[in-house]
Structure 1
Amino acid sequence: MKKWIFPFQLAIFFSLLTACEQTAQPGEQKPLLPPGISFIEAVGAQAGKTLIPYQKYKLDNGLTLLLHQDNSDPLVHVDVTYHVGSAREEPGKSGFAHFFEHMMFQGSEHVGDEQHFKIVTEAGGTMNGTTNSDRTNYFQTIPANQLEKILWLEADRMGFLLNAVTREKFEVQRETVKNERGQRIDNRPYGRLYERVSQALYPPEHPYSWPVIGYMEDLNRVNVNDLKAFFLRWYGPNNATLTIGGDINPEQTLALVAKYFAAIPSGPEVKMPEKPQITLDGDRYISMQDNVHLPLLYMTYPTVYVRHEDEAPLDLLSTILGGGKTSLLYKNLVKNQLAVQASVNHPCSELACTFNLLALPHPASGKSLADIEKIIRDTLLEFEQRGVEDDDLIKAKAQMEAGFIFGLQSVAGKVSQLAANQTFTGDANYITRDIARYAGVGKADVLRVYRRYIKDKHAVIMSIVPQGKPEAIAAADNFFPVKRNFAPASDTSAADLQLRQVSDSLDRSKIPVSGANKAVPLPKMWQQSLANGINMLGSQSLETPTTSLLLKIPAGHYFERKEKAGTAAILARMLNESTLKRSAEDMSKALQKLGSSVAISAGNHYLRININTLTKNLDATLALVDEKIRQPAFKASDFNRVKNNAIEQVINNKKDPGYLASTAYRQLLYGDNIAAIGSSGNEASLGSLALQDIKTFYQEHLKPFNAQLIIVSDRSKAQLMASLQYLENWQGKGAELALSLPLPETKTGVIYLVHKDNAPQSAIRIGKRALKLDITGEYYQSTLMNFPLGGAFNSRINLNLREDKGYTYGARSGFRGDKLSGSFTASAQVRGDVTDKSIIELVREIQTYARQGITADELAFMRNAINQKDALKYETPRAKLAFLAQILEHDLSPDFVRQREKIVSAITADDINALAKKHLKLKEMVMVVVGNSHKLKPELEALGYQVIPYEI
């Protein structure tokens, strides 16, 4: 089913939001504006209407400014969206927009190399950037007092970037992009699926025919001046929307925007792109062999474009056909174990949408990809005969309503919605039209779009099959993309560029000085213990009419027997199947009609039940959850399907280098112990499970005593307790956990090498067993010690391997722990040809830090970064839920946050250095490498290490 993300979701609560302070009503005098800024419109809250209040302004240079005031938390979210993505690139020059996402973080004329991340992190903020086919956005969430600093940073890279774009930076980031492609596409199972399908679906000149990340051949032939020319064409203020939301003073914010952005010159004129209709003259069959376990069939039909009048009914059609357990494809493929997975979605972009159907056949079914294709086509005919039912409309609209509300619980969510609507429609308030078009979908509309875009229409049919099994494809390839003609290396010179110079008297070399952080109040909490042993901790949050609950039952992975590993995980899946009252499909339908979600999973210590619902549907949702937990049917047919799919998933995971590395590393750290096996189990342990094992585990462990229930809701404690009275009828105490995790006799100082065929990258783990989790003790202090080594983007490890060497897309280190054990791990996924060099650098960074310790600048950076994050910790119900869960699990006083602040402020360089010497001893660490062992073994042995082949 389509994931409902802004701006295409439904809500009913925004009429509750108050208007911005500066909203101008008809006839009211508008506020005085700084020179160079014009008022466009103000949208305030209106009874009975759904909207996000905002003010809209335009700068003389074309920059659009949106302000949204929300004083509920002392933080601000800043988003700069440029209306440029891979769709604005030219054939032969792919990947430029994504490449600039990287370059925009590499410093600008007044911001030093790697300083953008450092400044934001030190300010207590978070940041990132994303690129898709149609837009690039850069965003930061920061304490409210840091707003001017962020506007200074964003303005500097908008107006002063190119002088800082050097050939050296260009070359390093080109390698980083290659690493990103290797990690996310080339070294991942099915990673090239969308790239291959797009080549077949779109004409070669269509901008969606190439991947957003680009072809590496294109990036290899261009030079730094090609990138600069692309920036000059598309990154002017007239092609950007600056959206600022949160705890702001609109008048002061306008002055700051004028100060930093008004003098930046406009770029060339930008027009909205055309949206050509894509049609196919016949079914196009394509295929590829990949390093996968399960074959895959993917069918894609071209449809419309985003916000087309037919988008909404096509979305609903995708839900009926492949949206979870109530869908037709689930019934015809997954329920009867013909497929491990089957789904349908209808993603939309600015120029085109696609209707996609996907299935992975179950090996035991004996069904080929050709068989699967026929079943899918028969399912389409079944829909045509079945038609659209009343429940289809009810479910979809309820999910949209809930998804929209939950997606906008943060300032970032509201800002992102405003920015997207403004960028693609010119109307930041487009939400009202979105709501109307989805609410207006009827049964006839869904049937109409089926007949227009799917019935008897042509598709691209992609087969991905395991290496060496070309005969397994659905049909012989009948489409072959035009061979790309790679031009010679570019000769674009600096003289070809038409630079734009900013002319003003502002001294932009000075970083704005921020005032003191606003006080961040801790969430107000209430606590209650029930007679049956459930401990409850809750907090009221009035921002949205929602309730989120987390129920943690001590029945996790560590309660299992080693030979039955995966029992808790299978139990979690079985609790999502049939109950004694209704089928899994009926249960799913009931939850969907409420717009509620219930996710059940198993961790090491707890079985976790996450519940999210609109508060008006809380009681009905809790009744369904109670039925799931206390009345599971444990049908043999459900168990066999769940178990078999879990086994196939474990086998399929072995094609992923990260999974292989983590699995081998865990085994080496814990030896012959339940902790050495992942919570999902392995082939042997899952294969040994019988339904009675699941029933016995459920009967012994799924009890309320010592369970923890954490709640964040707009309801009061008294109201919630009335809804939770039914829990008193649940009785019982589960078996106590009796587990010790002794250190195994694993040989250290050697490299354990796991083979992966034709791996373009290598996954590396270096680490050891370490401290158990504590909240204010040595474990916490050790996480502070690690921060400059590998705990931030600007850490030594990441700057070395990613920014200086271009070996990886990202490298890190950190401590992890629980009540029984802990570990320290340094990790990276690197280019295969620099595996040995990467290990040298990782070892050098760890040893140097242990020997020489932290610098004064690093200590100050760590203190500021950690202690200024408070505003971000409790904003959303989800964040509050995690905070309360930590308090309840570890029996903390809420002021542990203040204790941590004192620790961060008081810890000295000597304290840090002593911890580094104690915990960063290379001779105690194991090393795991996953890659092409035939090539890597001699290279690693040349480093002086004993290399031990290791099998998973």
Structure 2
Amino acid sequence: MTPYKLSAAAIAAALLTSTSMGCAGSSAATSSPAQDAAPKEASADEASQQEAQADQTLPEVEIPYEKFTLDNGLTVLVHQDKKAPVVAVNVWYHVGSKDEKPGKTGFAHLFEHLMFQGSENYKGEYFEPLEKAGATDMNGTTNRDRTNYFQTVPKSALDVALWMESDRMGHFQGAISQERLDEQRGVVQNEKRQGENRPYGKAWRMIPENTYPQGHPYSWSTIGSMEDLDAASLEDVKSWFDEYYGASNAVLTLAGDISVEEAKEKAEKFFGHIPAGPAVPHRGPWIAKMDERKELDTYDQVPQARAYYVYNVPQYGSETTEHLRLAADLLGDGKNSRLYKRLVYEDQIATDVFVWLWEGEIGSQILMGADARPGVELAKVEKALEEEVARFAKEGPTEEELARVKMSNFAETVSGLEKVGGFGGKSDRLARGEVFLSDPGAFEKLLDVQRDATVEQVREATAEWMGDGVFVLRVYPDPNHKAAAKKSAADRSKVPEPGQAPKLDLPDLQRAKMSNGVEVVLAERHDVPMVRLRLMADGGYAADPKDKLGVAKLTMDVLDEGTENHSSLELAAELEKLGAGLSSGSSLETAYVSMRAMTTTLDPALDLFADVVLRPAFADEEIARRKKQLLASIDQETARPRTRALRLLGPLVYGDAHPYGVPLTGSGTKASVEALERDDLVAYHARQLRPENATILVVGDTTMEQIKPKLEERFGKWKAAEAKAQVQNGQIAKHDKVRVFLIDKPGAEQSLIATGNAFDERSGVDQLAVEAMNTVIGGAFSSRLNMNLREDKHWSYGARSFVYETKGKQLFGAWAGVQSDKTSESMVEIKKELDAYLGDKPITEAELAKTKQNKTRKLPGRNETTGRLLGSVAEIVKFELPDEYWDTYTDRMNELTVEGVRKTAGEVIAPERMTWIVIGDLDKIEEKVRALEFGEVIVLDEEGKPVN
């Protein structure tokens, strides 16, 4: 369902289904001498020694679990993890889009949406009681093979989650109505429009149709066709529930602060009465390996030409698939992957590459491709891709390459297992193994396959499966632009009330200063052998000089692209050997360098961390390469309506003179980026990354006595350069009237509406009241805006409001992607909701109570992993909050009053001076938007400048 799913990668964002997919990264093209030469052969003794050393450094990974089955066939998996008072509740149904019939596609996904619309005993939105209970990692998704519903809740609210999940499993038939079907049909169709409105979005309809034979269960997209969705009847939907949603076709996984005894008692209480349902036959493998090359050219509103190569390969659980997973990572994951080095790094003919394994129960696919750099023919990119794959299939990887990727994969797995819920968490991994392989521990066995994989096995798999049988898709820029069997042991008359919120017991913050004044802030957590560090420096792109917009982003992008001691590729290789991850970046007000490392490799990882911070090379070739990528990303941002609006909001709301009056993506403008030189990056580094301007945050398996000497050794002699940090000043632009800015996107199936205004600094308002106010308007699934535009009108797949928290004047805004023919009507509804909130429909006692419960009860889940805890610590440091800020959060939130939140809303929301941005097909929407007479209407061009 993913109502507010924000894309982490361009590929995953383009998916039209709600399935989770892993993108395997980037890559580069002409062969290097090292790749042209035959790989150096090691002796048998050397090879076995290398493999032995690799095995010794790869950690053991397991999830202890218990498995039992209720009388009705429901399989229950239990994993106890007491590090936080939370429990993940994860229900997988063994049904997906492959179980549909031609002409009735989209049912699995449509039904997943319906399952969030209440049940026979709960007559409201599914999210409401769980938001009130403080749930995190809460969603539902559908892919080709399964449908899952999951949430992580405070232990005190476990009964709430189990009641809700069991009620929709056992008490849903009678709640399915024509009205609900029509409503969610419209929501799903808007989701489809939104997906296809994204750059490259239409590719995800074309790939299944052209890679599988007609009638194959994977030959249609999970979201289905508009025609089939229109034709779905109430009888069809009810039959789907009867056939696939019985207890015997489901797996319930409970992971977290729960014992097996508790799990057995609660599973029987809430789920034991539910009928088993009919036995569901499940298909065996149908790989449908292609035996010839098939090509298709298409056009879309995209900024760069992209080539996709799609290969049909074996199913999840096959040893060959694990070997292909390693091959995909070796080819396309990270700077040292074969394709990145060739296409992006050396030849610089592509701005990005990807190779990833899309797994399926009856067959999988490898998707490989690249975005051609502007001005480069796609044929040249394809030639380089094919040459590198052929070379890899002939020679295989080196032992060093394979060992590096194995270590990287295992480190990622260890990191993911910090979570009990959500994608990739412990409950997710256990359920996946049970549903597809009848073995909850299957992931451990598959990791062992990776651990034992040889160079020859990886090469053979590549040669067999990534050959002539391929579909090549080229996307060019458009030149034209039932009743219970026994009585339920749970009271079904009402949803259980969550118990008292568990006391948040975060690690005490420890602070120390190094000899040169750099502050170290530590939060100890010893549940996994991992440490995360972040060096934070005041700055970010608000510190960009107005004639050098984008310098912060480009500087921090290049910072980890090599040091005085390591080239970019050498640095990436060293990190992979250590199973460590390092990144640098910037936000509006902060520049940062982050690292994670296992405790066993922390010392050498810290050497690399310090090398990146203190001794960046800023090599000319790296600057040139990353500059090309940044320029391409500006094109991508402009092509995506939401990021285009984000680019415009800063300048339009704050004005050009203000530090925040910049594209809020941080990427600057094409003109400013093209003008940047190496000296500009060196100067930014000297101004902003200085000891008196920096704090080092540490979270994880260490102590201050252990970590401070290590940091002192590496950073203690760090001294500031002569240049002083520059603080920009500037007055915020005064806007006394509403302005409406229109941007043309010809042919768009949706319009993106964004609106916002600036308000007081964080220090000048009650920020918790701001949080509560925003949650009710549009900050949660059950918020007013979303309920109006998505659930009531079903004009949008999702509408939300947000607060862009800053040290200076903050930004309040709202956005929604809506179907084109409802653009002006949606603007009216958004304005109506904002006006009503300030007028005759302010926040109610019930809304405030629900918001308090949501905000306070989700705190344990928000701080479950070291990565999330690091984020909480960073917020304390950035905004100079008290160390006990999160420990006292619950008490302070519970002190909020309706009157206080109403007063704050009046200080934050200013409908009379809102800036509106509407991106859509002006031929269809402009006349009606102007007729609203909200205020002055200004049409902007591609550069964000007024037309005429």
- TM over 0.5, shorter chain: yes
Q: Is the 8 A contact 1:741 1:820 kept in 2?
A: no
Q: Report the equivalent of 1:848.
A: 836
SS in 1 for 2:358: coil
Q: Give yes or no for the alignment of 1:397 onto 2:406.
A: yes
SS in 2 for 1:434: helix
Change beyond 3 A, Cα 1:897–1:426: same
Q: Report the equivalent of 1:708.
A: 695
- Name the CA distance, whole Å, in 1 between partners of 2:917 and 2:530: 45
- Percent identity between the two aligned chains: 31
- Name the CA distance, whole Å, in 2 between partners of 1:76 and 1:232: 29
SS in 2 for 1:562: coil
2:459 to 442, 447, 457: 447
Change beyond 3 A, Cα 1:439–1:149: same
1:676 to 652, 658, 661: 661
- Name the CA distance, whole Å, in 1 between partners of 2:325 and 2:848: 51
- Post-superposition CA distance 1:512-571 (Å, at most 9, x none): 244333322131221111122211111111110001111112342122211101111111
- Name the CA distance, whole Å, in 1 between partners of 2:498 and 2:689: 51
Change beyond 3 A, Cα 1:226–1:399: same
Q: Report the equivalent of 2:542.
A: 558
Amino acid at match of 1:881: L
Q: Report the equivalent of 2:557.
A: 573
Offset, 1:783:
2.1
Q: Is the 8 A contact 2:273 2:488 kept in 1?
A: no
Q: Report the equivalent of 1:654.
A: 638
- Post-superposition CA distance 1:593-640 (Å, at most 9, x none): 111111111112221111111111111111112222222222222211
Alignment of 1:127-526 (within 5 A): 127-183=138-194, 185-335=195-345, 336-364=347-375, 367-384=376-393, 386-412=395-421, 413-455=425-467, 457-468=468-479, 499-504=482-487, 506=489, 507-526=491-510
Q: Is the 8 A contact 2:340 2:353 kept in 1?
A: yes
Q: Is the 8 A contact 2:122 2:494 kept in 1?
A: no
Offset, 1:721:
1.8
Q: Report the equivalent of 2:750.
A: 761
Q: Is the 8 A contact 1:771 1:779 kept in 2?
A: no
Change beyond 3 A, Cα 1:321–1:250: closer
Q: Give yes or no for the alignment of 1:96 onto 2:107.
A: yes
Q: Report the equivalent of 1:56.
A: 67
- Name the CA distance, whole Å, in 2 between partners of 1:741 and 1:218: 55
Q: Report the equivalent of 2:855.
A: 866
- Name the CA distance, whole Å, in 1 between partners of 2:881 and 2:636: 41
Q: Report the equivalent of 1:24.
A: none
2:878 to 884, 889, 910: 889
Change beyond 3 A, Cα 1:332–1:49: closer
- Name the CA distance, whole Å, in 2 between partners of 1:381 and 1:146: 55
- Name the CA distance, whole Å, in 2 between partners of 1:255 and 1:695: 63
Offset, 1:53:
1.5
- Name the CA distance, whole Å, in 1 between partners of 2:876 and 2:754: 31
Q: Is the 8 A contact 2:81 2:255 kept in 1?
A: yes
Q: Is the 8 A contact 2:269 2:488 kept in 1?
A: no
Offset, 1:240:
0.4
- Name the CA distance, whole Å, in 1 between partners of 2:392 and 2:441: 36
Amino acid at match of 1:560: D
SS in 2 for 1:695: helix
Amino acid at match of 1:820: G
- Name the CA distance, whole Å, in 2 between partners of 1:515 and 1:381: 60
SS in 1 for 2:436: helix
Change beyond 3 A, Cα 1:55–1:823: same
1:618 to 602, 610, 613: 602
Q: Is the 8 A contact 2:21 2:358 kept in 1?
A: no
2:685 to 685, 698, 713: 698
> Considering only aligned residues, what root-mean-square deviation do their CA atoms show, in Å?
2.2
Q: Is the 8 A contact 2:92 2:146 kept in 1?
A: yes
SS in 2 for 1:769: strand
Q: Is the 8 A contact 1:343 1:359 kept in 2?
A: yes
Q: Is the 8 A contact 1:751 1:927 kept in 2?
A: yes
Change beyond 3 A, Cα 1:939–1:61: same
Offset, 1:370:
2.0
Offset, 1:745:
4.1
Q: Report the equivalent of 1:923.
A: 912
- Name the CA distance, whole Å, in 2 between partners of 1:750 and 1:388: 58
Q: Give yes or no for the alignment of 1:948 onto 2:913.
A: no
Offset, 1:385:
5.2
Change beyond 3 A, Cα 1:93–1:534: same
- Name the CA distance, whole Å, in 2 between partners of 1:102 and 1:254: 29
- Name the CA distance, whole Å, in 2 between partners of 1:196 and 1:744: 47
Q: Which runs of 5+ in 1 are unaligned?
A: 10-47, 471-498
- Name the CA distance, whole Å, in 2 between partners of 1:440 and 1:522: 39
After TM superposition, the structure 1 stretch with the greater mean CA deviation from structure 2, 796-805 or 442-451, is: 442-451
- Post-superposition CA distance 1:248-304 (Å, at most 9, x none): 243233222112211111111123312123132421111211001111111112221
- Name the CA distance, whole Å, in 2 between partners of 1:527 and 1:461: 56
1:689 to 638, 660, 676: 676
Q: Is the 8 A contact 1:6 1:407 kept in 2?
A: no
1:834 to 802, 822, 827: 822
- Name the CA distance, whole Å, in 1 between partners of 2:438 and 2:20: 15
Offset, 1:772:
1.5
After TM superposition, the structure 1 stretch with the greater mean CA deviation from structure 2, 332-341 or 910-919, is: 910-919
Q: Report the equivalent of 2:48.
A: none
SS in 2 for 1:209: coil
Offset, 1:887:
2.1
Offset, 1:7:
13
- Post-superposition CA distance 1:778-826 (Å, at most 9, x none): 2332222232222221111111111111011111123222112201112
Amino acid at match of 1:885: A
Offset, 1:427:
1.1
- Name the CA distance, whole Å, in 1 between partners of 2:357 and 2:862: 34
1:908 to 886, 897, 904: 897
- Alignment length, in residue pairs? 879
Q: Is the 8 A contact 2:740 2:918 kept in 1?
A: yes
Q: Is the 8 A contact 2:273 2:484 kept in 1?
A: no
Amino acid at match of 1:807: W
- Name the CA distance, whole Å, in 1 between partners of 2:101 and 2:570: 50
Give the TM-score, by structure 2 length: 0.90
- Name the CA distance, whole Å, in 2 between partners of 1:780 and 1:553: 25
- Post-superposition CA distance 1:41-86 (Å, at most 9, x none): xxxxxxx964211111101111001111222211111011111111
Q: Report the equivalent of 2:524.
A: 540
- Name the CA distance, whole Å, in 1 between partners of 2:674 and 2:404: 36
Amino acid at match of 2:583: A
Q: Is the 8 A contact 2:505 2:887 kept in 1?
A: no
Q: Report the equivalent of 2:769.
A: 781
Change beyond 3 A, Cα 1:381–1:411: closer
Offset, 1:714:
1.0
SS in 2 for 1:293: coil
Q: Is the 8 A contact 1:84 1:136 kept in 2?
A: yes
After TM superposition, the structure 1 stretch with the greater mean CA deviation from structure 2, 678-687 or 914-923, is: 914-923
Alignment of 1:578-617 (within 5 A): 578-617=562-601
